Chain A
């Protein structure tokens, strides 16, 4: 087709014209071998307030002024030579606009190139969106890098796992890591955690529950170093509600865990030092003061006996009263020693010590019963026994002082997952969210109990509500302090 024949358009050409008119943002310019435009169409003309007449008759390089004329002419001539080329340039009238031009040859029915077409698209918004997207991706990558959070996606249909660049960095992998989830992830997981991770993956695959979850485990970087990550994930469902993939993040929490471990270590040292100090104080009181005071009591009694009938009744009465007061003080001191260093805990273990503490609680409060149940088989680590005893001691003190309970139960259970202590009562309970209660928490010793348990990598919780009693629960993990609880 040539400029001369444009006026005699065929039905196909008319149809093409209509179609082109409907294409938004597109301008099609047809040019002859002299690069003179003989047709201009497309929805972009109308969108920019132009008409065919604004272009027809002009030479193609003139559309962008002199600045890009050479480049446009080169592309147009390349099209005349049978090549397709592309060019991106700013608008002539509005330099903020960005145009993408594709030059294609235009052949006659015999196949000979008789001209060309320039397909011009206003890509201003598209490029802006692309820039924005790139900026966001960059921001996301930076945020992931700063927060040490990488993201991943597991496509259940293909079973393929894809890592973000930051996650690749966390694992020490090259960017763009993508593997079948099994066995692809196996070399990346710390061997001791592999079975647990596999079980979690199995649950995700089998249950296909899209609910969010968190999971902590260790990884092995490609350089062999071991890191700890906290994974958060949730399922993505299709229109039928079927989980089609899981998306998630892995946050490198190694430093946090190290800090936690250091905090626990320091807390442990504090408690060990405190226990040691209590032991020394108890020993000093027992070996020194109690014996001396008891001896003084015996001497007072001896003096009273020597006075006998010859002494005045007033002196006898006074000596008897002083001896009685002294005995009371010695008894009080002995009980202090018992609290500082429960001998029964050292000699007979946790269950025996809990039974004595329960009996003591019954004597001090209006408790009808304070039952102790134990499923322990043998003795526990002394540090664990001391921590659990101190927690039970404080919890029972709270029952005595605050709960107005009639029944209390101290239960201790042991399993492969660790040991659990529960002190429950049927007392008044409390609202754990109540401001006054929160203010009293330190008074109740709850913080000290929690710290004591967490110092041993355990978990502590209080289950209570007004009028519904209270359960204080302390769970301590197995002896290996690195073994963590499943989330």
Chain B
């Protein structure tokens, strides 16, 4: 089984770099990075990662709008929202936009890894349902 492929999207460089390093260390393949929602959509279409780890508030295009576009373009790609805002209303909006999960910054790193693995599994299960040949990719 290939490494879980991630796209990391956050406009805060230090955070994004730390995340990328941590996730690589934790056994994920970070296939791409983006600092705004528009770049994230373009990269998601191009790279078709298992999961997009997406910030909420970003320049050019916000995380929720980017999620809608990604889910429209590549429905199997899972989006995990990682934001500093804790809000049930936002959580609801994230769900409606098609996010797999809504995590707040400051959640234990173990939680982040666990949720990402669940998202990867969900994506691969979806692909397996729609195309048995894709199983094991």
Chain A residues with a Cβ under 8 A of chain B: 286-287, 290-299, 301-302, 305-306, 323-324, 327-331, 333-335, 337-338, 343-344, 347-348, 352, 355-356, 359
Contact = CB atoms under 8 A, between A and B. Distances in A.
Contacts of A335: 86
B106 interface: yes
A291 B87 contact: no
Contact of B21 (A298, A329, A343): A298
Nearest to A349: B89
Nearest to B24: A302
Contact of B88 (A295, A327, A330, A356): A356
Given A292-B12, A338-B85, 13 more contacts: A286-B85, A297-B109, A298-B19, A328-B106, A334-B105, A337-B85, A338-B86, A343-B85, A343-B90, A344-B88, A352-B89, A355-B88, A356-B87
B106 A290 contact: yes
27 contacts: A286-B85, A290-B105, A291-B105, A292-B14, A292-B15, A294-B15, A294-B105, A295-B18, A295-B19, A297-B106, A297-B109, A298-B15, A298-B18, A298-B21, A299-B21, A299-B22, A302-B18, A302-B25, A306-B25, A327-B109, A337-B85, A343-B85, A343-B90, A347-B89, A348-B89, A352-B89, A355-B89
B15 A295 contact: yes
Chain B interface residue bracket vs A: 20 to 34
B105 A296 contact: no
A297 to B, nearest CB: 7
B21 to A, nearest CB: 5
Contacts of A301: 22, 109
B24 to A, nearest CB: 9
A334 B86 contact: yes
A286 B84 contact: yes
A296 B18 contact: yes
Contact of B84 (A291, A298, A355): A291
A292 B13 CA distance: 10
A342 to B, nearest CB: 8
A344 B90 contact: yes
B104 interface: yes
Interface string B12-48: 1011011101100110000000000000000000000
A302 B89 contact: no
Which 5 pairs from chain A and chain B are nearest by CB? Answer: A330-B106, A301-B109, A298-B18, A295-B18, A291-B12
